[in-house]
Amino acid sequence: MIGSVGVIFGETGSHTFKFMVTDPALRRTDYVKVWHSTDGWVLCQVMSMTRSEGADNKDRVIASVTVIGVRDQQGLLRAPMTPFRPGDRVYKAEEELIVETLGLSDGGAYLGLLDGTDIPVTVDRNKLIQKHCSILAMTGSGKSYTAAVIIEEMMEKGVPLLIIDPHGEYATLKEPNDDADMGALAEKFGVEPQGYKNVTIYTPGNKKLCGYADRPLRLNGVNLKPKEIIEYVPSELNNTEIGLIYEAVNALRNDGIDYTIKDVLREIGSSHSAMKWGVYNKLEPLLEAEFLSDRPTPLTELFARGRTSIVDMKGIGPDVQQAIVAKLLDNLFEARKAGQVPPGMVVVEEAHNFCPEKGFAKTVSGDVLRAIASEGRKFGLGLLIISQRPAKVDKNVLSQCNTQIIMRVTNPNDIRAITKSLEGISSELEEEIKRLPPGVALFVSPDIPRAVMVQVRVRKSRHGGASKEISDEADKEDKPPAGGSLFKRLFGKA
Ligand SMILES: Nc1ncnc2c1ncn2[C@@H]1O[C@H](COP(=O)(O)OP(=O)(O)OP(=O)(O)O)[C@@H](O)[C@H]1O
């Protein structure tokens, strides 16, 4: 029959088989179909290919295939009850069969194209919020690029977004993509360059730290509880020092007037304890920490329909970043529970620093992120968790992310962490993850019966990427060489 790409041979199973390839254009990951006498056309996917020399000295290409299945009358995906026959012919699957069998719908947030096809892959925005999403990949493989694609798609529907941006990577959402390859990529993916106006960049510092910020981010610095003060202190405090803070705050509370960190320091200064100067020194940086204020930024301004707020923490130390995130998200979650802010999404870049796995570090922001991960869905507060070190992210948080976007990862511990949080990932897919080119993601969603490979669409806004001075030296080693046409890297054409 015309159009066949090969013929099944040898032992066939219900879920796998091999076929002798007759079409030289066939490639790994291609979708194929085989006619089954009781089920009709069954969708399958080429997982690997081998080439060897046959007895006639000619090339023999053999493809190993996984059976995806067929939709039954109830719309459920199932594999045929009997295996295919050796001698059955294999054909390229047409788009319609792929879309129907994989259950790809055309509404929702447009992520990109099913790899090797022109079929759009979308994801339901509500489910992204209700069930959380993670983007896991080693550095340089397109994490923040893909996150920005999701952010763009959410922004276009006015979903409130709060972006925790430790390195100042997301400010360029405001500008249209001016990449030299944009023309060809825009046509391929059917998108137009666009900058987003409703993006506000907040800095917890000042214009010196973040010159391009639109507004300062201020958190409440009045009448802080001892526990809150302790969380903001950048250095470790011993028990005596903690006791001194409690004593000072209790004394101020007894006076019944509003107090600030300055008052707490004054009170500590008047103590008779020999330890007072030690704790004084540790608390003093909070006087200069501009993010504590008697006029905090209202949450209703930060998290509102049609608005995207970037908390740009460039230049701020990791401990202070964690304290800011802890307080901000705590306030946001409480406000959401009380219905004071609408449902929306929180984007957490470098999540391993804000909710680390036990044994790696302990941070003040871990508790609130765990709480949002496990309860956020009830209140319509979604997380987009992004990390280049999946093994270092709290596994309770990761396991709550029902939509997973996995890009290239080579570190064995990170691969193990990913496969642990994914059900039924095959060893072929593990191998695939190690070899994914930049911009290609393994997409796992509760709406799609199996993981699919997606060529992530081009960004509409300009891609910024991390600024050089703060990028992690260790991570640099993993980076693929820069330069060259991206279009060429992605599609092999100039
Ligand atoms: N889908 C895509 N389409 C076009 N270009 C892409 C795509 N994904 C990634 N890239 C390119 O790959 C490069 C690396 O992407 P990105 O900055 O998102 O990596 P990263 O994993 O976030 O790295 P880092 O950890 O250094 O921030 C970028 O320069 C970007 O231009």
- The ipTM (two decimal places) reads 0.96
Q: Whose CA is nearest to atom 11 of ligand 1?
A: 142
Write the residue with the smallest CA distance to atom 5 of ligand 1: 439
Q: For the chain, what percent of residues have pLDDT higher than 90? A: 63
Q: How far is the CA of 143 from the centre of ligand 1 (A)?
A: 6
pLDDT at 319: 83
Predicted confidence (pLDDT) at residue 484 exceeds the cutoff of 70: no
In the structure encoding, which two tokens stand for residue 379, read together?
A: 């209140």
Q: How far is the CA of 463 from the centre of ligand 1 (A)?
A: 8
Q: Is the CB of 389 under 6 A from ligand 1?
A: no
Look-up of token digits 């947030």: 109
Task: Return the amino acid letter for 190.
Answer: G
Task: Determine the average pLDDT of the residues in 246-261.
Answer: 92
439 in ligand 1 pocket by Cβ < 6 Å?
A: yes
In short, whether 166's Cβ falls inside 6 Å of ligand 1 is no
> Is residue 291 within 8 Å of 205, Cβ to Cβ?
yes
The phi, psi pair for 157, rounded to 5°, reads -105, 15
What is the distance in A from the centroid of ligand 1 to the CA of 464?
9
Q: Does residue 405 have its Cβ closer than 6 Å to ligand 1?
A: no
Residue 469: the pLDDT is: 37
pLDDT above 50 for 304: yes
**403-406 vs 292-293, strand pairing mode:** unpaired
What number is the average pLDDT over the span 390-416? Answer: 92
The 403-406 sheet, strands edge to edge:
120-123, 109-114, 452-456, 440-444, 403-406, 133-136, 381-387, 344-348, 161-165, 308-312, 199-203, 215-216
414 to 51, 135, 411, 430: CA distances (angstroms) = 31, 13, 5, 11
Burial class (CB in 10 A: 0-12, 13-18, 19+), 358: exposed
Residue 288: burial class (beta carbons within 10 Å; 0-12, 13-18, 19+):
exposed
User: Residue 230 Cα, ligand 1 centroid: separation in angstroms?
Assistant: 38
The residue whose C-alpha atom lies closest to atom 4 belonging to ligand 1 is: 458
Confidence class for position 20, pLDDT limits 50, 70, 90: very high
Ligand 1 atom nearest 486 alpha carbon: 5
100/174 Cα distance (integer angstroms): 37
The whole-number average pLDDT for the span 144-157 is 97
Does residue 141 have its Cβ closer than 6 Å to ligand 1? yes
Higher pLDDT, 270 or 465: 270
Token output for 121:
């892959």
Instruction: Say whether pLDDT at 372 is over 50.
Output: yes
The gap between the terminal CA atoms of the chain, to the nearest Å, is 36
Helix axes 239-255, 261-269, angle to 10 degrees: 110
Rounded to whole angstroms, the Cα distance separating 259 from 155 reads 39
Q: Indicate the range of 45-59, 122-136, 365-379 predicted with least confidence.
A: 45-59
Residue 106 has pLDDT above 90, yes or no: no
Residue 342: pLDDT above 90? Answer: yes
| CA–centroid distance, residue 239 to ligand 1 (Å) | 45
pLDDT at 491: 36
Using the mean position of ligand 1's atoms as its centre, give its distance from the Cα of residue 447 in Å. Answer: 26
Question: What average pLDDT does the segment 400-423 reach?
Answer: 88
Q: Which domains does the chain have, with CATH numbers?
A: 4-103 (2.40.30), 120-217+297-491 (3.40.50.300), 220-292 (no CATH)
Kind of pairing between the strands at 199-203 and 4-9:
unpaired
Query: Which mutation among 115, 121, 145 tests ligand 1's pocket best, with the greatest number of atoms within 8 A of CB?
Result: 145
Short-list 221, 218, 184, CA closest to 203: 218
> CB of 143 closer than 6 A to ligand 1?
yes
Distance 360 CA to ligand 1 centre (A): 27
CA distance 409 to 414: 7
Contact in structure between 336 and 295 (CB atoms under 8 Å): no
139 lines ligand 1 (CB under 6 A): yes
At which residue do the structure tokens 């091999």 appear? 18
Distance CA 122, CA 155 (A): 15
β-partners of residue 48 are: 64
Q: 481: which residues sit within 8 A by CB, 6+ positions away?
A: none
How many helices (H) and strands (E) the chain has is answered by: 18, 21
Hey, which of 87-96, 273-282, 415-424 has the most confident mean pLDDT?
87-96
